Structure 1
Amino acid sequence: MEMKKRISLELRNRSPAEVVELVVDNCQSSDGEVEGLTEEYTALQVLSMVNVGISSLAKLPPLPPPLEVSDNTISGGLDSLAVKCPNLSYLNLSGNKIKELSSIETLQSLKALRSLDLYSCELSTLEDYRENVFQLLPQVVYLDGYDQEDNEVPDSEADNDEDEAGPPGDDDDDEDEDDEDAESSEGDEDEVGLSYLMKDGLQDEEDDGDYVEEDEEDEDEEEDGDVDGAQGEKRKREPDDEGDDDDDE
């Protein structure tokens, strides 16, 4: 796909001023120049043109973001960057056709340039390559991902992710606590269920006992009633008996 058409598709019904990230890797420039990119892309924070067949940055419009143009055929002509991207902090030229230190000497004017990648360029195979580049461009802190002490460039995005996630081990602790809470909750449920069953069993026994006692009480009351009834009848009959005796006399 042609570079100009690819950039047009990447708009996705947005205006150029609304585009924050523009990645057009692996499309092809028709004439080796930057195509379809204008000064209207004022909000860009990411611009990647990897392997698009450009050999020159002369037509690159003034843009603020870090510039990723690796795996192209750029051999020089970096003068335009000083005018169009004076605040450029990151430049990836790895895999291009840069052969000599003189080709990057113009980058001295980029005072904000902090990180430069020239990996896989012919220049990187020269003797004392790193020492010479750091000497030529003293503002550069990281060359091909490492500083002069061979310390790797910090991954700010990874650091931010770690900060948001919390100190190492927090997630494990949280999972352990969740597991413990779950086990504790299950244990509590078992205890509650057992207690409930035991309580039901005891209640049933008590209820059965109550029924037995009530039955016994009912039987006792019936027996007492029979005795009382018998005694009452006897008491009623005694006066009559006595009256009959008196009549006989």
Structure 2
Amino acid sequence: MEMKKRINLELRNQAPEEVTELVLDNCKSSNGEIEGLNDSFKELEFLSMANLELSDNVISGGLEVLAERCPNLTYLNLSGNKIKDLGTVEALQNLKNLKSLDLFNCEITNLEDYRDSIFDLLQQITYLDGFDQEDNEAPDSEDDDDEGERTE
């Protein structure tokens, strides 16, 4: 869901000045901006953006803003952007909860030892471009059909 739409739903007939909590997990940004979230949310105490989709937005830097403003991110998709070097993604070291990072179709993926370098730099991540360090594919969250069932 687009971020601006989700924010409007989360308002639940309240003025932005009255909102203390926003859950924007799994929202997408079409232009690389956090649309709809502005200074009018003066009482905001809790903001969740666990999964952030920023693919194909011509992003080439400024990732330190994500570390500052979205410290609880667990999944970040930056595929198809203009990220070229390790220095650009270094700011993501401060995202201590980040488990999955997607840089597919970014220039950085052409670097020698790209995967090893990213896993060394961002030791908190488990998955890079959908695979762990041993090249095992990340589980698809939609495949959890038997959630709650236990076999012994």
User: Which of the residues 31, 39, 64 maps onto 2:48?
Assistant: 64
Give 1:116's aligned amino acid: L
Match of 2:25 in 1: 45
Match of 1:98 in 2: 83
Structure with bigger helix share is 1
**Structure 1 alignment gaps of length 5 or more:** 19-37, 168-249
Q: Deviation per CA, 1:132-179: give whole Å up to 9, x if none.
A: 0000100011000000000111123312x1447999xxxxxxxxxxxx
Secondary structure at the aligned position of 1:42 is classed as: strand
Q: Is the 8 A contact 1:63 1:84 kept in 2?
A: no
**Structure 2 alignment gaps of length 5 or more:** 39-45
Give 2:134's aligned amino acid: E
Give the TM-score of the pair, scaled to structure 1. 0.48
- Structure-2 separation of matches of 1:142 and 1:166: 26
User: Which of the residues 90, 105, 112 maps onto 2:97?
Assistant: 112
- Structure-1 separation of matches of 2:148 and 2:119: 35
Give the TM-score of the pair, scaled to structure 2. 0.75
Q: Deviation per CA, 1:196-243: give whole Å up to 9, x if none.
A: xxxxxxxxxxxxxxxxxxxxxxxxxxxxxxxxxxxxxxxxxxxxxxxx
Structure with bigger strand share is 2
Match of 2:41 in 1: none
Secondary structure at the aligned position of 2:56 is classed as: coil
User: Which of the residues 112, 125, 128 maps onto 1:143?
Assistant: 128
Secondary structure at the aligned position of 2:22 is classed as: coil
1:101–1:44: structure 2 CA closer, same or farther, 3 Å change rule? same
- Structure-2 separation of matches of 1:166 and 1:140: 28
Give 1:53's aligned amino acid: N
Considering only aligned residues, what root-mean-square deviation do their CA atoms show, in Å? 3.1
Identity of counterpart residues, as a percentage? 50
